[in-house]
């Protein structure tokens, strides 16, 4: 475990400093790092994806626990730091670049390096936490129920995120925090709330506290979704105009759904057309998407 002083020295030695644009914050609390790792239950038979390894504090612990660690670092300077540090570790793979290929896809290089099954363990950069977790859930569904070639099933995802993001991921219907990621996580995962992580556990100190979460991919529940692409599209459409009525939103979907089919689908899902997205339960979204799926 690197201390704050050691992290400063490593960065200074490489001519680097924390990148505010990338939201770089380095965990410096050994006790809390241990709790995050314990929550992950990482084992020697697993491949782990770490996003944003920084100076390698968590990476070093993961390398001692997991079978393989695939670290993805966007910052070229930090990529050089961890490349040099773990050059002799044969279970370490570094990918310098973005873990996401756009908003709705994982990087092909990352998927190729991971193989068919992996876990995610990371102090996630705040800016990509929600789209990354959503895409990992979608990717996992595709690995089991869709076109499987070149896909990865993320059996477990353990990560730290801002507290407000953690609340959104596990939010229930009825409030402003409930959104697309809440629906996807509820329909395809089982969430476990980990320890709260105060801002002072990081350097530089962020403005807001964090929370550790673990989401286990629920294969049985995910199998109830007929087509995850249709589900994600319907949910995105509904919450994209969350103050409007669902019936009105769906009617304006550029002719995607015939009026009779739409009425039937809303009836099947027991959704009042005047309902707004935040009042629609995850199971209702699943029924709606399944009914709208084009065979």
Give the count of beta carbons closer than 10 Å to the beta carbon of residue 99.
Answer: 26
Give residue 195's pLDDT band: very low, low, confident or very high (50, 70, 90).
Answer: very high
**How far apart, in whole angstroms, are the C-alpha atoms of residue 124 and residue 162?**
9
Cα–chain center distance at 77: 24
Task: Please report where in the chains the tokens 């050994």 appear, as a residue.
Answer: 30
pLDDT of residue 260: 86
**How far apart, in whole angstroms, are the C-alpha atoms of residue 137 and residue 291?**
21
pLDDT of residue 254: 57
Cis upstream peptide for 204 (omega within 30°): yes
3-state SS assignment for residue 252: coil
Task: Identify the structural domains of the chain with CATH numbers, from first to last.
Answer: 4-222 (3.40.50.150), 228-292 (1.10.8.100)
Supply angle C-alpha 11, 15, 17, rounded to 5.
50
Supply angle C-alpha 189, 71, 92, rounded to 5.
120
Higher pLDDT, 103 or 5: 5
Per-residue pLDDT tens digits for 112-163: 999 999 999 999 988 899 999 999 999 999 999 988 788 999 999 999 999 9
HSE-CB for 27 with a 13 A CA cutoff: 30
Least confident of 22-36, 43-57, 185-199, 250-264: 250-264
Give residue 258's pLDDT band: very low, low, confident or very high (50, 70, 90).
Answer: confident
Per-residue pLDDT tens digits for 19-77: 988 889 999 999 999 999 999 999 999 999 999 999 999 999 999 999 999 999 999 99
**How far apart, in whole angstroms, are the C-alpha atoms of residue 265 and residue 292?**
6
**Does position 17 have pLDDT exceeding 60, yes or no?**
yes
Q: Which helix (H) or strand (E) holds 162?
A: strand 153-162
Give the count of beta carbons closer than 10 Å to the beta carbon of residue 58.
Answer: 27
Least confident of 171-185, 218-232, 245-259: 245-259
Joined together, the tokens standing for residue 114 give 């991971």
Mean per-residue pLDDT over the chain, rounded: 95
Joined together, the tokens standing for residue 190 give 């089982």
How far, CA to CA in Å, does 1 sit from each of 57, 85, 137, 212, 260? 6, 14, 30, 18, 61
**Does position 275 have pLDDT exceeding 60, yes or no?**
yes
234 near 292, Cβ under 8 Å? yes
Give residue 295's pLDDT band: very low, low, confident or very high (50, 70, 90).
Answer: very low
Cβ-proximal residues to 120 (8 Å cutoff; 6+ apart), any chain? 48, 49, 50, 51, 136, 154, 156, 157, 158, 159
Q: How far apart are the first and last CA of the chain?
A: 53
Joined together, the tokens standing for residue 206 give 């962020």
Higher pLDDT, 263 or 194: 194
**Which of these, 88, 47, 102, lies nearest to 71 by C-alpha position?**
47
169 near 191, Cβ under 8 Å? yes
pLDDT of residue 281: 98
Give residue 255's pLDDT band: very low, low, confident or very high (50, 70, 90).
Answer: low
User: What's the sign of the alpha-carbon dihedral 145, 100, 204, 7?
Assistant: positive
User: Stretch 205-221: mean pLDDT, rounded?
Assistant: 97
């Amino acid at each position: 475990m690197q201390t704050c002083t050691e992290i400063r020295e490593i960065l200074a030695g490489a001519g680097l400093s924390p990148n505010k644009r990338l939201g770089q914050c380095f965990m410096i609390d050994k006790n809390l790092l241990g709790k995050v790792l314990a929550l992950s239950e990482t084992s020697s038979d697993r491949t782990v994806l770490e996003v944003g390894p920084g100076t390698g504090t968590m990476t070093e612990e993961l390398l001692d626990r997991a079978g393989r660690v695939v670290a993805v670092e966007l910052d070229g300077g930090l990529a050089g730091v961890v490349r040099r540090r773990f050059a002799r570790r044969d279970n370490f793979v570094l990918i310098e670049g973005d873990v996401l290929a756009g908003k709705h896809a994982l990087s092909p290089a990352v998927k190729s390096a991971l193989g068919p099954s992996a876990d995610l363990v990371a102090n996630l950069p705040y800016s990509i936490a929600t789209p990354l977790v959503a895409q990992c859930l979608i990717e996992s569904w595709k690995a089991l129920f869709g076109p499987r070639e070149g896909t990865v099933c993320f059996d477990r995802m353990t990560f730290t995120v801002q507290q407000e993001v953690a609340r959104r991921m596990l939010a229930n219907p009825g409030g402003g925090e409930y959104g697309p990621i809440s629906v996807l996580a509820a329909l395809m995962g089982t969430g476990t709330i980990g320890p709260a992580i105060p801002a002072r556990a990081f350097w530089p100190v962020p403005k807001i506290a964090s929370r550790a979460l673990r989401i286990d991919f629920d294969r049985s529940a995910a199998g109830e979704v007929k087509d995850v692409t249709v589900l994600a599209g319907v949910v995105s459409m509904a919450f994209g105009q969350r103050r409007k009525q669902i019936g009105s939103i769906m009617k304006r979907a550029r002719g995607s759904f015939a009026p009779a089919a739409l009425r039937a689908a809303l009836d099947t899902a027991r959704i009042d057309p005047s309902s707004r997205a935040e009042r629609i339960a995850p199971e209702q979204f699943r029924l709606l998407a399944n009914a709208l799926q084009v065979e």
